Structure formats: C-alpha cells, structure tokens
Structure 1
Amino acid sequence: MSSYPLSPSRRFDLICGSLEPGPTNSISDVNGVSVGHKTMRRGEVNTGFTALLPHPGNVFQEKLSAGVEIINGFGKSAGLIQVDELGTLETPILLTNTFAVGSGVNALIRQTIMKNPEVGRTTGTVNPVVLECNDGYLSDIQAMSLTESDAIAALDAASPEVEQGSVGAGAGMSAFGFKGGLGSASRVFELDGGRFVLGALVLANFGRSGDLILPDGRRPDPKELQSSEERGSVIVVLATDVPLESRQLKRVAKRAGAGLARLGAFYGNGSGDIALAFSTAQKVLHQEERDFVDRRCLNEDRIDILFRAAAETTQEAVLNAMIASPAMKGRNRHERPSLADWLQDTSNQL
C-alpha cells in the first residue's frame, strides 16, 4: 500500500501514474484554493452546488490567468467564451446541474456587485463562470430546486478540506454505470529547485457502462450494471501555483482529456467534456495603471511535467468521485451502484 495520502482510490491500491501526491491529495494543496458544497436531498431531488474559490481575496479586482479546453462541447456552461478570449478568471467557479446555471450566474453577479459596487456602473460588467452536468437520471432536474441562496451557501462553506463523493454538485451524478460525483487529487513536482503543485477538481457524470478501465487493468462487466450511454458530461478544473500564461494553461487543460481517456472515455456526441485551468502564481489587476506589465511564465520546454500531472490528477479525481460515492436510489427508482462496493466484492472473491 502506498505511503502517500490515502485518497478513496488509494485505499484500494489504485495508483494513477507515478508523480507524488500533495499533502492532502486534493486541489486545496494549491495554496489559497478552497472548496465548499451545498447539497440538496428532498424527495426525488438529489442535486447541489459546489463552489471553488481560487484565492481568498477579491477575485474581480485580482484576476488569475486561465485557459479553457472544450473537449466535447455538448454543454450549457456560462463564462467560457470570455475566459477563452481574455485568458483570465474573475469570479469563483460554481459547479451544478444543467438547469441551475442561471441561479449560479445570478449569485456570482450579486456577490461581485456587493464587493465591487462599481461593477456595471463605472467599470465593466463581470464574467461569472458556472459549469454544469445533467444529473436528471438520479434527480428531478425539472424541479429547478436550486436558488441563488444555495449557490451563496456553497461559496460561504468553502474551506481547504475538500469533501468528495455524492456532495454538492455531485449529489445526483453518474459515471460508467456507477454512482458518480465530486473528486479531487493533486501532484507535486520540482522546477528550478522549487516545489510546485497541480490539483484537479472533477465533476464526474460521464462514461458508458462497461467502458471503465481501472489503473490495474480490471474492467467491470457491463452485465452487472444498468445500461448508460456516453452522454452525461464531465467538468475538470485544474489549479496550479506554477506561473503560466493563458495559452499555456489552455495546453495544460487539454491534457485532462488524457486522464479521461485512460479511464475508457471516448467523448461521446452527447457528453459535455470541459476542462478549465488557472494559475494562482500572479494576479492580473483590474485597475492596472501601467501600459506594460511584467509577468513570469514557464519555459515551454519544461511544461511536460504539468501535462503529466494534469492527466494523473484527472484520472485519480474521477476514481475518487466514484469510490467516495455510496450506492444510490434516486428519481423514479433509478439506481446506481457504488464502485467501492464492486471493488470490495471483487477483493473478497480473490
């Protein structure tokens, strides 16, 4: 058994790649990053918001360099066009179900105006980033139960302790015929003698039954699972403290796809597969008065270590989301088994 932090997947000795995890093996190993959840379970509603705060300050006034990669664009997220164009992140990131994107957008706008009364008056508007997956198999998505106050509750709950599994936005998600959810992982590495981190937060709601490939080569039999097509979605958020400019961050985000492919995903027509990466290394000031600004960025010839970290953390975060999620019976008596139960049963048969 690994001596590294025991994420849900590592409790079953499922090791993704060769790089060393960070102290908590979660995205909060990137200093200043915090995550909060608001989970709603009410009747046939199993849904929620997950909030990621990229730093503890005013994100509108102190933006971060960011890049986005649309692996497959069957999705209804908000804010990605401006992130791709300007290369900056200026709000916290909200994850939720497809029909709650509007509530999340309004919550981020109101929160930004509260902290920055000049927004939309004497300065520009704000670009809220809300990313989504469709949890309609296990949750009554038509109920549209989530409100702005639920999004604010997730933001207010943010802390460095990253709870994983069927929480927040992950409450009603499915993956590869199993229960899906929220997962996280991190990797540490050296550059120029310094120690740096890359972490992933994943909302796993994708994958066809029987396609899952575990790191040790095992593949659950699709006959044991309720059929599921590749039309769910997966959101990958990558954070790092390495100084990178937006073009480099887009390249790092693209490598999340390698982690998904290792699991057996093929990015089906109906799956919205999106990766967003940001760097906390240096702030982009909203009220910058200089004509020219100096920013550090990584030597491109050294970027492969981040590509590897992006693939490994994405793969492990998805497994963590699934293993940390117990079996669930949801809307219309639809069921999803737990990958942890399958792994335990398989171990008992050996």
Structure 2
Amino acid sequence: MARARLRDLGISIGLLPPGPKNGITDVPGVLVGQVTLVEDSPHIIRTGITTIVPQDGAIWRRNLFAAGHVLNGNSEVTGLTWINEFGLLCGPLALTGTFSIGAVHEGMVDAELTLDTGADFKMPLVSETYDGWLSESENFVLRPHHALEALKAATADPVKEGNAGGGTGTNAHEFKAGTGTASRLVALGGEEWTVGILVQTNYGDRERLVLDGVPVGREIPTTDIPSCFAERKVDGSILVVIATDAPLLPHQLKRLAQRAGLGLARAGGLGWPGSGDVFIAFSTGNDLGQATDPGRKLPVEGLRMLPDFALQPLMGAVVEATEEAIWNSLCAAETMTGRKGRTSHALPIKRLPDIMRRYGRT
C-alpha cells in the first residue's frame, strides 16, 4: 500500500478541525524548507535538515514572542537560553541530526549574512535528534551550505513527511519515522486562529504505541514486523515546534509548549531519562521588528494578547495536533536500510483501519 497520512486512512484524532493542509504551514507566513541526504558511497548517509521560517519576508528582522519547554533534557538546542531569557525568536529554526548541529549552526549564521545583510542579531536556534543508528553521521557529510539550501527551499506548500529533512534517519516506536506535521483551527473571541505542529520523532518502544487510545503497537508484534533495534530500546528524542497566529505572550507560549508533552504521552512517549524531548512555541500574532535594537521604539501600544483563561482550546489544539503529527511521521515513512545493514521497517498502515475498528473506533 502506498504511504499515506493518517487521515488518508480514514482515521482522525480529536475534536478540532485541521487546517486545509493539516500542517504547520497552515499558519499564515510560516514556511518549511528541507534538505534530505541519502547516500551509499563513500559513506552510508541518511540525514538532513528541516528549517522553519516563522514569517515570510525579512526573516531575521521580525522578532516574535516565543518560549521553550524541556520535558527531558538529553538533547541540545542552540539559542534556547536566549529564548528563555528574552522570550523572543529572532529568526528561523533548524532541526537536524545530533552530529550536524555545529555545521548547521554555522550555516544558519552564514545564511543570515547572505540572505539578510541588515540583520542585527545572530543567535540561530538549531536542535537535533540522533540519526546515527541508520546513518554514518560521524563522517560529517552535512555541511553549512546545506542550511542555506534548506532556507532557500522554504515554502508554504505541504511539508514532506517521513524520511525527509532532519527526520530522514530517525525511528519511533521501533518503526521508521521522521518528520511529521498537523494543524488545528480554533474559534476564539470571534476570530479563528491556527495552531500548527511539526515534529521530528526518534523515540519510544512498540508496546506503548497508542492511537486514539488503541494499543496499536501491541497489535503489530515484532514477530510480524521486526523491530529496527537488535535489543529493546525505549529512550530516544522528539522535537516539537508549535506555531500559531494567535497573539500570545511568552508565558502563554510556555504553557502551550508544555502541552506538547501531553500529545506525546497520548501516542505512547513518556520522556524517559535517555530522551531529549524539547518543545518550542512561537506566535506570529505580534510583530516586534528588530527588537534587539536598543534605539528602536518598540510598538508596545500595539501589542495584542488573549486572556490566559481563554487558552484552553489552543492547549487542546496543541495536544491533538502533536499526537497526529507523530502519527503522520510514522504513516508517511518508508522502510529504510542504513549502516551495518540495519533495517527500520515502515509501519504497516494498511492494518490500522482494521485494528481501529476492532477497538470500536470508526
């Protein structure tokens, strides 16, 4: 059966409607670009970069409110201390493999100099998950120029999922996984807001894999589809990026970022000690311009925000879309063989509708 997204199989999650693309690029102005490297010679390479441009246009001059949350900290994110201190996202984000974080950071700085020479602040946000199980990542094939390529490729088109971008060489719940995305629309205060999620999945054991409360992982034992690991492995990492056009302040975005952990838990991820579970949230609802320029008058009088007690539907949107994005990363991914002949098998998606029906889901 051809690879498909979860809703293509007739399976939906939650109560809120998705956006037209059911992805992070449903948030107006948000773009995603990817570089995917799959090579067999001279090294076995299964890696890549996913870049997220928060606002189309002068991408390093429109600083936005943002926040980060770390569920379990066995991971690395450059620029996270800046976000936690100032509550600002100062440019694009990049997701990649663990050993490539330095090269991508260098490439993001170079890209800033190349694409926006008037930008005044160079603190790229780059995060990682480990793809060395399938990729000979220690050979450093991913170079700084690939970050520029990924940024130049950024588009509002639907995001390529599964074995694409930073998730090219990753696995989840002992199946092949990678990049996934989803979105939700929220009616609030007489207006409609969009919440978009992008995940890079590399975590979890099969026994805990759950879809809308159904223990799917137990229904697909390793005797049917072998695990991608020689021995049972439960830790790993997941990156979750949350974008919204709802006008939120940093402390409110922090609350949204925390809810990504609930979506992760619904899919069967529990934030084990060896995991790197990092969530970043940003809002395009207030454009702060070059907020790092001390001589610039900030548009304080023009700031908007939603009341804190009105955030409930946005929190629900984060939970639902995170769970669905994880499942899209699994459903879209194809079987991949990498270093040392290791094979990570695709989730057998043709079995999902029948499993769900047997548990009373329609």
Q: Provide the TM-score with structure 1 as the length reference.
A: 0.92
Matches within 5 A, 1:25-40: 25-40=22-37
When structure 1 is superposed on structure 2, of 152-161 and 286-295 the one drifting more is 286-295
Report the alpha carbon displacement of residue 17 of structure 1 after superposing the two structures with TM: 0.9
What's the counterpart of residue 3 of structure 1? none
Of 323, 326, 335 in structure 2, the residue corresponding to residue 327 of structure 1 is 335
Cα distance in 2 for partners of 1:220, 1:297 equals 41
Of 302, 309, 316 in structure 1, the residue corresponding to residue 324 of structure 2 is 316
The reply to whether residue 214 of structure 1 matches residue 211 of structure 2 is: yes
Matches within 5 A, 1:196-275: 196-215=193-212, 217-221=214-218, 222-224=221-223, 225-226=226-227, 227-275=231-279
Of 2, 14, 17 in structure 2, the residue corresponding to residue 17 of structure 1 is 14
The reply to whether residue 156 of structure 1 matches residue 152 of structure 2 is: yes
Cα distance in 1 for partners of 2:110, 2:24 equals 26
Secondary structure, in 3 states, of the residue corresponding to 1:91? coil
Matches within 5 A, 1:1-350: 8-43=5-40, 44-117=44-117, 125-161=121-157, 162-215=159-212, 217-221=214-218, 222-224=221-223, 225-226=226-227, 227-286=231-290, 287=293, 289-290=296-297, 293-294=300-301, 295-341=303-349, 343=351
Cα distance in 2 for partners of 1:62, 1:160 equals 18
Cα distance in 2 for partners of 1:152, 1:263 equals 33
Secondary structure, in 3 states, of the residue corresponding to 1:223? coil
Q: Percent identity?
A: 34
Secondary structure, in 3 states, of the residue corresponding to 1:317? helix
Cα distance in 2 for partners of 1:344, 1:304 equals 30
Report the alpha carbon displacement of residue 344 of structure 1 after superposing the two structures with TM: 5.9
* Preserved CA contact (<8 Å) 2:55 2:62: no
Q: Which amino acid aligns with 2:7?
A: R
Q: Which amino acid aligns with 2:104?
A: G
Question: What's the C-alpha RMSD, in Å, of the aligned pairs?
Answer: 2.2
1:22-47 Cα shifts (integer Å, max 9, x gaps): 11101111001111111101112100
Cα distance in 2 for partners of 1:292, 1:33 equals 22
Taking a change above 3 Å as real, the CA distance of residues 7 and 167 of structure 1, as seen in their structure-2 partners, is same
Cα distance in 2 for partners of 1:338, 1:179 equals 5
Cα distance in 2 for partners of 1:322, 1:219 equals 12
Secondary structure, in 3 states, of the residue corresponding to 1:269? coil
Q: Which amino acid aligns with 2:150?
A: A
Cα distance in 1 for partners of 2:124, 2:38 equals 26
Report the alpha carbon displacement of residue 115 of structure 1 after superposing the two structures with TM: 4.4
* Preserved CA contact (<8 Å) 1:209 1:229: no
Q: Provide the TM-score with structure 2 as the length reference.
A: 0.89
* Preserved CA contact (<8 Å) 1:238 1:276: yes
* Preserved CA contact (<8 Å) 1:14 1:215: no
Taking a change above 3 Å as real, the CA distance of residues 291 and 217 of structure 1, as seen in their structure-2 partners, is closer
1:89-127 Cα shifts (integer Å, max 9, x gaps): 1121111000111111111111222345466xxx5x421
* Preserved CA contact (<8 Å) 2:207 2:215: no
Unmatched 5+ stretches in structure 1: 1-5
Taking a change above 3 Å as real, the CA distance of residues 233 and 342 of structure 1, as seen in their structure-2 partners, is farther
Cα distance in 2 for partners of 1:184, 1:99 equals 24
Number of residue pairs the alignment of both structures matches: 341
Report the alpha carbon displacement of residue 242 of structure 1 after superposing the two structures with TM: 0.2
Cα distance in 2 for partners of 1:242, 1:118 equals 28
Cα distance in 1 for partners of 2:94, 2:349 equals 30
* Preserved CA contact (<8 Å) 1:77 1:130: yes
Report the alpha carbon displacement of residue 58 of structure 1 after superposing the two structures with TM: 2.1
Taking a change above 3 Å as real, the CA distance of residues 316 and 101 of structure 1, as seen in their structure-2 partners, is same
Cα distance in 1 for partners of 2:11, 2:213 equals 7
Q: Which amino acid aligns with 2:250?
A: S
Cα distance in 2 for partners of 1:138, 1:301 equals 45
Cα distance in 2 for partners of 1:215, 1:337 equals 22
Secondary structure, in 3 states, of the residue corresponding to 2:114? helix
* Preserved CA contact (<8 Å) 1:322 1:340: no
Report the alpha carbon displacement of residue 292 of structure 1 after superposing the two structures with TM: 6.9
Cα distance in 2 for partners of 1:223, 1:181 equals 20
* Preserved CA contact (<8 Å) 1:9 1:319: yes
Q: Which amino acid aligns with 1:186?
A: S
When structure 1 is superposed on structure 2, of 110-119 and 139-148 the one drifting more is 110-119
